[in-house]
Chains A and B, each alone.
Chain A
Amino acid sequence: MIARALGIPAMRFNGLIGITVVGLLLLVAIFGPWLAPYDPLKLDLLARLKGPSAAHLLGADEFGRDMLSRLMYGARTSAWIAFATVLFAIVFGTFFGILAGFLRGWTDRLLMMVNDALLAFPGLLLALGFMAVFGASRNGIIIALGIAYMPVAVRVVRGTVLSIREREYVEASRVMGNSGIVTMLRHVLPNCLAPIMVLATTMFGWVVLSESALSFLGLGVPPPAPSWGNMLSTGRPYINQAPHIIILPGLCISITLLGVNLLGDAVRDWLDPKMQD
């Protein structure tokens, strides 16, 4: 409704909000160490569980650590893990997807068999299994979530490749004597970019959520390093005494996810007008 008053189409207005939120997240993630008023690990026992004050703008946590600084470093953690995970899932997913879709035959059947087995695991389950293997660590989460979400990318890319490999320009490239690899890189890959972009944006949101869930379960970013998820987990016993240490990290996750979801819808409408409701 605000959008209509300003004369902007609703979709573009939502996209604008989305890009602003995600942009802010990235700014805080990159410049957090310079913006944060305190060291996120510095203890100030006198400020323990205290609410917002002039010294600590958003209050302090159960060890008297500055909440604002921890939230900023948490943004850095979330953004970095989400970025690295999406990159991992998309790069490997695209590689296997193109391989399966372009080569067909046994390669396709074998890859799809493994892929379907991985897709048969619901949401967090596969990631939880991998965390049992790797133990709770930053790189562990990136690999675990990366492998857990890769099959979706394989599926999307393979589907796209199958639909374009019979097109005339791909045929033409082959007739011209280009090798399979050249045809794949020059003609097939660029046409997969739109669905990959749409998926990457959506996946960024899934990863932020899953990482915070894993950290909340104590199987993600190990404390004392701050992540929004582990702040919720370690602050939970103090929920009644100092609600701010629980409210703030969750608010950060929600706002980030809202931004990513709005941006995701906008990217989808922009790149794939067919999918518009």
Chain B
Amino acid sequence: MVRFVLTRIATAIPTLFLVSIAVFALMRMIPGDPAALMLGDLAQPGQLEALRHEMGLDRPIALQYLYWLGDVLSGDFGQSISTRQPVLPLMLERFSVSATIVVVAVFFATLIAVPAGMFAAWRQNRAGDIAVIATSTLLLSIPSFWLGLMLLLIFGLQLGWLPVVGYVPFSRDFGSALLFIILPVVTLVLVESGSITRMARASTIEVARLEYITHARAKGLPESTVMWRHAFKNAFAPTMTLIGLVLGSLLANIAVIEMVFTIPGLGRLLVDGIYARDYPIVQGCMLFTAFLYVLVNLLVDLLYPLLDPRVTA
């Protein structure tokens, strides 16, 4: 078990390393000199050279990467070109906003989608199954940002039940914070339930064909015991991998939802950084999000043996 955990962690390190190279290389492909961008049009002739030297841009590219990596590992992600704020605290603040919405949404999506998928598998090819499949295929086909706009139009503008745009931190006012995140969370729950339901259904059907399920039924156990005690654990393992992927990719995809509801999250920070050509922000957000994605997937892998002890062997 310890060996499994250590091996799995060890394999994530080269991935993280490669991700950092990819982000660094990508940022260097952006046309224009970052130092010139920082100075703007009013730079004096000597100033550019001085800043290039200060930023290390006159060093060989491999050395620049190593210096940058060293800084990042010590928590220094540089500072924003437009606001001069340090990038890391800014990202962490925005991340707490995105993470709240994403985690709550994925939690509820799982709570709804896994039982729905198992129910569909149990009623395979009957009316209940067809209804679940049809709904999840439909949900899978609706873009989250459009669904968000539609919910905003109906519940925010037409009915006036919920606030339309903005965000209040939970630490300031719990009640109104809750009101503000209802629409974005509901949007994500609906959209993400589609794929999770389909996965839960497919893996339950796979497991239900196995002999130990037939055996459990033959013992005369009630269907609910067969499903929850015997089928669930094995069927949930592959679904959990998908949930990890959904959780990780939502941290990037949430940019569109944050755009719809004007939420100051990490995705917005990245997109605004791209508009403003604020490359330390873009670089920081990309690295941060990709690292989180790798870590979430690592965590899911580490949780796997709890459901299926065979993987540690």
Contact = CB atoms under 8 A, between A and B. Distances in A.
B177 interface: no
Interface string A107-121: 000000110111011
Interface in B257-271: 259-260, 270-271
Given A123-B249, A123-B252, A129-B282, A250 B143 contact: yes
User: For the side of the interface on B, what is the size category?
Assistant: 35 or more
A128 B141 contact: no
Nearest to A10: B130
A71 interface: no
B140 A261 contact: yes
B101 interface: no
A192 B141 CA distance: 28
B30 A236 contact: no
A243 B153 contact: yes
B149 A133 contact: no
Nearest to A233: B259
A213 to B, nearest CB: 5
Given A121-B290, A216-B259, A277-B201, A236 B18 contact: no
Contacts of B205: 277
Nearest to B248: A122
B19 A117 contact: yes
User: Interface majority SS on B: helix, strand, loop or mixed?
Assistant: helix
A232 B149 contact: yes
Interface string B136-156: 011011110111011011000
Interface stretch (A62-70, A87-95, A97-105, A252-260): A252-260
B293 A128 contact: no
Interface in B124-141: 127, 130, 137-138, 140-141
Interface in B39-55: none
B137 A129 contact: no
A125 B143 contact: no
A116 B127 CA distance: 42
Contacts of A123: 249, 252-253
B270 A254 contact: no
Contacts of B271: 128, 217-219
A187 to B, nearest CB: 32
Contacts of B142: 250, 254, 257
B201 A122 contact: no
B2 interface: no
A114 B256 CA distance: 28
Given A216-B256, A250-B142, 10 more contacts: A10-B130, A117-B18, A122-B245, A122-B293, A133-B26, A219-B274, A239-B152, A250-B150, A254-B146, A261-B141
11 contacts: A125-B249, A128-B286, A132-B277, A247-B150, A249-B146, A250-B146, A250-B149, A254-B142, A254-B146, A261-B140, A262-B137
Interface of A: 1, 10, 113-114, 116-118, 120-125, 128-133, 209, 212-213, 216-219, 232, 236, 239-240, 243, 246-247, 249-250, 253-255, 257-258, 261-262, 265, 277
Top 10 A-B pairs, shortest CB-CB distance? A250-B146, A117-B18, A122-B249, A125-B252, A258-B141, A257-B141, A123-B249, A122-B293, A132-B274, A122-B252
